[in-house]
Amino acid sequence: MRFFIKIILIILLVALLCVSVWFFCLRVFLADAHFRKAMQYRNGNNWTETLMHSNKVLAYQPYEPFYQANFAINLKNGLDFYKSKPAKIQILDLAIKAINKIPQKNMDFKIKKNLAQIYMLKANLTQKKEDFLSSEKLFVDLAQISPKMASVYKDWCQLKIEQQDWQTALEICGKAFYLYPEIKPETPKVRQDAIKSEMSEVYEKFGQIYFNLEDYEKSERMYTQALKLVPRGRPNIWKKIADIYYKQGDLDTAIGKNLHGMILSPNDAAWPLAIGLLYEQKGDMSEAEKYFESFLGSDPISHTPQTGF
């Protein structure tokens, strides 16, 4: 009888040891391994693999706040993979659900900031008042926690742009702009580049706001400042400057600005399409067809216009 009891106790101890090893060692190790894989594929822009490994992370560690937050961030960053609006909304809802699983005591500033951005993306798609309010409430909280953080106001400004609340957007963008530090010669280059990149985004937002207020002179001035900070990093701004001239009926200048953008990002099919449409509006069907053919990928452009830009 004693021998039988000893066997039972040994079996129970072994079982307890196995469970302990699984819960406290192996499960943690596997979750961490898949998390590293997810980060690796995210950096390599392989969304399918990122999602697969992220799901495995949560299968092993479903209640870990760090993994829930990163899963939500991965969903937000992979949004462009989905083409339809309902699919994008579904993905954002999954991201919101993941963050809402995190206990309030673990909801740090970074997680709240990501949740505000996720609600902002959703609001832009749904145009529902409750989604805008959810994002706005989070930005208000973030501004109270860290009133001197420029990036909070930069993102908040984008929310007001999505709402087409142009005057409030101007005020909030202004707060962001004046919170960025002065770039001094002794500032490390990495820090300089980060500041310039964010300030360029703010200038671009100013440009968009003034464009919608039909103050085209200020709009172009803001877009030009954005380009000065990051000359080669934001070719899309040339399209926005082109739109200013298009709105004013100056098709030739609009074409020239688009051509400048195309030189900076020649693999973007949006440029030949936009230029072809402008030539079509001018009535120059010969030039229009060349750019339409380039857009369709059937024939390289053999024309090199003189733009002066």
pLDDT: which is higher, 142 or 52: 142
pLDDT digits (tens, 9 = 90+) for 203-219: 999 999 999 999 999 99
pLDDT digits (tens, 9 = 90+) for 172-210: 999 999 999 988 888 898 999 999 999 999 999 999 999
- Taking 90 as the threshold, does the pLDDT of residue 29 lie above it? no
**Confidence (pTM):** 0.80
Q: How far apart are CA 209 and CA 170, in angstroms?
A: 7
Q: Assign domain 235-309 one CATH number from 1.20.1440.130, 1.25.40.10, 3.90.1150.10, 3.40.50.1110.
A: 1.25.40.10
Q: Where are the domains of the chain?
A: 18-62, 235-309
Cα dihedral 79, 80, 86, 91 in deg (nearest 10): -10
Q: What is the pLDDT of residue 303?
A: 44
CB 42 within 8 A of CB 70: no
CB 205 within 8 A of CB 179: no
Q: How far apart are CA 135 and CA 230, in angstroms?
A: 29
Cα-to-chain-centroid distance, residue 136: 18
CB 155 within 8 A of CB 117: yes
CB 153 within 8 A of CB 172: yes
Residue-level length of the chain: 309
Residue range 114-137: mean pLDDT, rounded: 96
Residue range 6-12: mean pLDDT, rounded: 66
Phi first, then psi: give them for residue 284, nearest 5 degrees.
Answer: -95, 80
CB 272 within 8 A of CB 262: yes
What's the count of helices (H) and strands (E) in the chain, helices before strands?
15, 0
First to last CA, the chain: 96
- Taking 60 as the threshold, does the pLDDT of residue 300 lie above it? no
Q: What is the pLDDT of residue 309?
A: 34
Closest of 123, 128, 182, 116 to residue 155, by C-alpha? 116
Q: What is the pLDDT of residue 110?
A: 93
CA-CA distances (angstroms) from residue 16 to 23, 41, 50, 114, 118? 10, 36, 34, 40, 42
CA-CA distances (angstroms) from residue 272 to 86, 233, 234, 308? 30, 20, 18, 18
